[in-house]
């Protein structure tokens, strides 16, 4: 078992120093399963994925397979997707509709509420006194939803979801509640397993606008209409003061470029008139319902965020992804595209198309994230002694007077800044080293 | 032709597959030429083989329960891996040639194998429905290896002497979870 002292030496977040061990150690990964994934709110599915009774969606909570199922009364339930007899998956579909889930090994059968309802020749095998009620599927202890997004936790004592969102709630609202009808998911989940530790992807979405100008320069160059392309931004020639970064003590983070700054940056999908016109309308709606700060954020570009630990989203284009841990050096991405439910069909189609052009394993942008994540893992999986002595530099903006770490609300910082990443690892360290959930004091 | 269709006995070859053998041979050569351009990284020349009205589509595959088997492939209204126009294929080719597309710079080594070519006539005289199986091997940097297998359903159009273009391409990748860090190759 890895000691708290060792973990603290790995994550010196106050000084912006992080050890590569947290991305490559089997011991760290195993402890994360219990202490981070076992005690966090984890995204399971959106209402629009499971609209009818019996609809189910299969996913993971950390490394544990789970399924979320719409009940006949309209509520939802979620369970470990593991038979109580020998532990294999009782549901082997990725999504669908079913009245019951029958294990293909011996035929134990469970209803949509997870109750054990059938066992072949039950009386002959287990006897008439067998108490089926004790052998239902293991439930996900807590389920709550926000703006149609269902989250689950195995921690019975976890604080309620809204409290755990903290000041990040305004950013969730900005994108997921921009129109009164909210959002819906485009059908289908894109899945990709790739090399790399899940935290590398999650922290990137939390606070790393900085990488875009190097990692994604080829996307910018080839897909942006020339009249909208400001190549000076690639080298930061006119600074990054139009950027803002948010971090919270809950470990959530976001960043965006203020569209109203006099520094114009590339916007992925820019020049798509039908979406621009729709977003003009939504922006007015957001300004009225949620206020000026939300409206300015909404219209910002390169908007990205992570809800701790592993739900990441983009505002431009409209994409969401979960980074499932698959071991220290591997992760699996579940990727979706969301659209405003009230948008006209041609806007939805265009939003879907733009999101897919740039994000996903085939995306003009995200192809190169996959390459970078794999390259980091490739350097660490060899377990080189010297490579692991490096303390990685998370010091951008450290000590800046605008960089507020300690107040209970987290902070907002103008310009490029790695404050969201530092707060991400601060929360991670608290969860890894404390008995409680590491909620902000 | 229809009078010759057997009604009993072993499954018969579809009558539509009996196209002129010279046409079939030319189409096979076209398919080999096309992937040679990809493996040689002559991407702009490859792009010239795509019709202006091309639809280049790779739906997603997923595990469905038996009664939903017809929903294994994602539909037109759902997400897909690729849903390309001539314009967006142009972006992809420009990106591949940019030398700043880090998934392919330094360049990968790819080998596309195309087999099981089935050529069927369509109602349009110069267009043929062509199905083929593919295996694409990619090796890059030191020891990164990806293998993609699948089927392509194409509509190919004769546009001149020894000149053909791809009008439709539906690519069925035989993976429900993409097992590579990206899909930065063309199929």
pLDDT band at A286 (very low <50, low <70, confident <90, very high): confident
Q: How far apart are CA A413 and CA A402, in angstroms?
A: 6
Contact A372 B102 (CB under 8 A): yes
pLDDT band at A440 (very low <50, low <70, confident <90, very high): very low
Contact B63 A94 (CB under 8 A): yes
Q: How far apart are CA B165 and CA A273, in angstroms?
A: 31
Least confident of A66-70, B18-22, B38-42: B18-22
Residues of chain B with C-beta less than 8 angstroms from the C-beta of A218: 95, 98, 100-102
Q: Write down the pLDDT at residue A100.
A: 97
Contact B65 A93 (CB under 8 A): yes
The partner residue sitting opposite B91, judged by closest CB among A195, A222, A378, is: A222
pLDDT band at A292 (very low <50, low <70, confident <90, very high): confident
Contact A370 B176 (CB under 8 A): no
pLDDT band at A410 (very low <50, low <70, confident <90, very high): low
Which tokens is A151 given?
Answer: 């989250």
pLDDT band at A154 (very low <50, low <70, confident <90, very high): very high
pLDDT at A121 over 50: yes
pLDDT at A269 over 60: no
pLDDT digits (tens, 9 = 90+) for B49-100: 999 999 999 999 999 998 888 999 999 999 999 999 999 999 999 999 999 9
Q: Output DSSP code: residue B178.
A: B
Q: Write down the pLDDT at residue A407.
A: 47
The partner residue sitting opposite A361, judged by closest CB among B75, B94, B182, is: B182
Q: How far apart are CA A268 and CA A429, in angstroms?
A: 34
pLDDT band at A261 (very low <50, low <70, confident <90, very high): low
CB count within 10 Å of CB A436 equals: 10
Q: Write down the pLDDT at residue B3.
A: 53
pLDDT digits (tens, 9 = 90+) for B133-186: 999 999 999 999 999 999 999 999 999 999 999 999 999 999 999 999 999 999
Helix, strand, or coil (residue A288): helix
Q: How far apart are CA A62 and CA B29, in angstroms?
A: 49
Average pLDDT score over residue span A283-293: 85
Residues of chain A with C-beta less than 8 angstroms from the C-beta of B70: none
pLDDT digits (tens, 9 = 90+) for A329-384: 999 999 999 999 999 999 899 889 989 999 999 999 999 999 999 999 999 999 99
Which residue from B minimizes the CA distance to A319?
Answer: B79
Nearest CA of chain A to the CA of B144: how many Å? 9
Helix axes A26-35, A419-433, angle to 10 degrees: 80
Q: Write down the pLDDT at residue B152.
A: 98
pLDDT at A239 over 70: no
Read off φ and ψ for residue B147, nearest 5 degrees: -130, 125
pLDDT, chain A, mean: 89
User: What per-residue string of b and e applies to A350-359 under the rule 16 or more CB within 10 Å gives b?
Assistant: bbbbbbbbbb
Q: Touching check for A34 and chain B: CB below 8 Å?
A: no
- pTM of the model as a whole: 0.94
pLDDT at A180 over 60: yes
CB–CB of A170/A67 below 8 Å?
Answer: no
Q: Touching check for A46 and chain B: CB below 8 Å?
A: no
pLDDT band at A324 (very low <50, low <70, confident <90, very high): very high
User: What per-residue string of b and e applies to B119-152 under the rule 16 or more CB within 10 Å gives b?
Assistant: bebeeeeebbbbbbbbebbbebeeebebebebeb
Q: How far apart are CA B85 and CA B56, in angstroms?
A: 7
Q: Pick the more confident residue, B7 or A44.
A: A44
Residues of chain A with C-beta less than 8 angstroms from the C-beta of B184: 362, 367, 371
Average pLDDT score over residue span A397-419: 70
pLDDT band at A159 (very low <50, low <70, confident <90, very high): very high
Nearest CA of chain A to the CA of B82: how many Å? 7
Q: Pick the more confident residue, A294 or B31.
A: B31
Q: Write down the pLDDT at residue B15.
A: 85
What is the full DSSP assignment across B119-166?
EEE-SSTTEEEEEEEEEEEEEETTTEEEEEEEEEEEEEEEEETTEEEE
Which tokens is B103 given?
Answer: 């998934």
Residues of chain B with C-beta less than 8 angstroms from the C-beta of A193: 177-179
Average pLDDT score over residue span A125-137: 95
Q: What are chain B's domains?
A: 19-64+71-173 (3.10.450.50)
What sign has the CA pseudo-torsion A127, A131, A134, A135? Answer: positive
In a mutational test of the A interface, the residue from B67, B75, B182, B186 whose CB has the highest number of chain A CBs within 10 Å is B182
ipTM tops the 0.95 cut: no
**A–B CB contacts, 8 A cutoff, strictly below:** 125
CB–CB of A329/A197 below 8 Å?
Answer: yes
Which residues does B8 contact at the CB level (< 8 Å), separation at least 6? none
Helices (H), A155-227: 161-165, 169-176, 198-207, 212-215, 217-223
Share of chain B above pLDDT 70, in %: 97
Angle at A231 between CA A229 and CA A234, to 5 degrees: 120
Residues of chain A with C-beta less than 8 angstroms from the C-beta of B144: 374, 378
pLDDT at A206 over 60: yes
pLDDT at B112 over 70: yes
pLDDT at A404 over 80: no
The closest alpha carbon to A176, from A165, A163, A164, belongs to A165
Strand A149-153, strand A183-185: pairing = unpaired
CB–CB of A192/B177 below 8 Å?
Answer: yes
pLDDT band at A244 (very low <50, low <70, confident <90, very high): confident
pLDDT at A264 over 50: no
**Which residues partner with A414 through β-bridges?**
A244
In a mutational test of the B interface, the residue from A188, A229, A364 whose CB has the highest number of chain B CBs within 10 Å is A188
Cis peptide before B106 (omega within 30 of 0): yes
């Amino acid at each position: 078992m890895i000691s708290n002292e060792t973990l603290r030496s790995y994550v010196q977040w106050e000084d912006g120093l992080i050890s590569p061990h947290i991305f490559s150690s089997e011991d760290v990964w195993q402890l994360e399963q219990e202490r981070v994934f076992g005690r966090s709110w984890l995204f399971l599915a959106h209402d629009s994925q499971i609209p009818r009774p019996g609809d189910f969606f299969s996913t993971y909570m950390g490394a544990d397979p789970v399924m979320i199922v719409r009940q006949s009364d309209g509520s939802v339930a979620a369970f470990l997707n593991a038979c109580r007899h020998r532990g294999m998956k009782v549901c082997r579909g990725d999504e669908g509709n079913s009245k019951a889930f029958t294990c293909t090994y011996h035929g134990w059968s469970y209803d949509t509420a997870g109750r054990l309802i059938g066992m072949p020749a039950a009386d002959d095998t287990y006897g008439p006194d067998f108490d089926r009620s004790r052998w239902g599927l293991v439930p996900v202890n807590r389920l709550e939803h926000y703006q149609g997004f269902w989250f689950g936790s195995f921690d019975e004592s976890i604080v309620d979801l809204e409290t755990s969102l903290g000041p990040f709630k305004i950013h969730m609202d900005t994108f997921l509640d921009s129109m009164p009808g909210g959002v819906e998911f485009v059908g289908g989940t894109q899945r990709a397993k790739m090399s790399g530790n899940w935290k590398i992807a999650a922290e990137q979405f939390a606070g790393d606008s900085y990488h875009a100008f190097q990692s994604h320069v080829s996307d910018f160059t080839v897909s942006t209409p020339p009249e909208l392309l400001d190549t000076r931004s690639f080298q930061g020639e006119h600074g990054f003061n139009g950027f803002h970064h948010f971090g919270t003590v809950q470990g959530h983070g976001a960043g965006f470029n203020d569209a109203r700054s006099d520094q114009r940056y590339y916007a992925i999908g820019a020049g798509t008139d039908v979406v621009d016109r729709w977003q003009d309308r939504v922006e007015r709606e957001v300004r009225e319902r949620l206020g000026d700060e939300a409206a300015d954020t909404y219209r910002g570009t390169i908007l990205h965020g992570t809800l701790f630990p592993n739900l990441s989203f983009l505002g431009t284009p409209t994409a969401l992804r979960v980074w499932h841990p698959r071991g220290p050096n591997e992760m699996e991405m579940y990727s979706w595209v969301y659209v405003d439910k009230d948008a006209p069909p041609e806007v939805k189609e265009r939003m879907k198309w733009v999101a897919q052009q740039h994000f996903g394993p085939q995306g003009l942008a995200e192809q190169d994230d996959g390459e970078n994540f794999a390259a980091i893992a490739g350097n660490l999986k060899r377990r080189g002694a010297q490579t692991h002595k490096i303390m990685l530099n998370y010091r951008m903006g450290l000590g800046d007077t605008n960089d507020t770490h300690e107040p209970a609300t987290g902070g907002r910082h103008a310009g490029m800044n790695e404050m969201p990443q530092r707060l991400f690892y601060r929360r991670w360290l608290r969860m890894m080293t404390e008995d409680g959930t590491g909620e902000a004091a | 032709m229809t009078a010759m269709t057997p009604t009993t006995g072993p499954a018969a070859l579809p009558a539509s597959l009996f196209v002129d053998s010279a046409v079939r041979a030319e189409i096979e050569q076209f398919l080999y030429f096309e992937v040679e351009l990809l493996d040689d990284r002559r991407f702009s020349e490859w792009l010239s083989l795509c019709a202006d009205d091309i639809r280049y589509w790779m739906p997603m595959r997923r595990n469905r329960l038996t009664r939903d088997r017809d929903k294994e492939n994602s539909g037109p209204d759902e997400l897909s891996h690729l849903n390309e126009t001539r314009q967006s294929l142009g972006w992809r080719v420009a990106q591949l040639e940019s030398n700043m597309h880090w998934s392919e710079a330094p360049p990968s080594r790819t080998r596309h194998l195309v087999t099981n070519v089935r050529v069927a006539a369509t109602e349009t005289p110069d267009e043929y429905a062509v199905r083929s199986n593919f295996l694409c091997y990619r090796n890059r940097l030191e020891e990164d290896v990806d293998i993609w297998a699948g089927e392509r359903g194409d509509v190919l159009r004769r546009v001149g002497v020894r000149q053909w273009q791809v009008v439709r391409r539906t690519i069925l990748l035989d993976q429900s979870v993409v097992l590579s860090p990206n899909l930065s190759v063309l199929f």
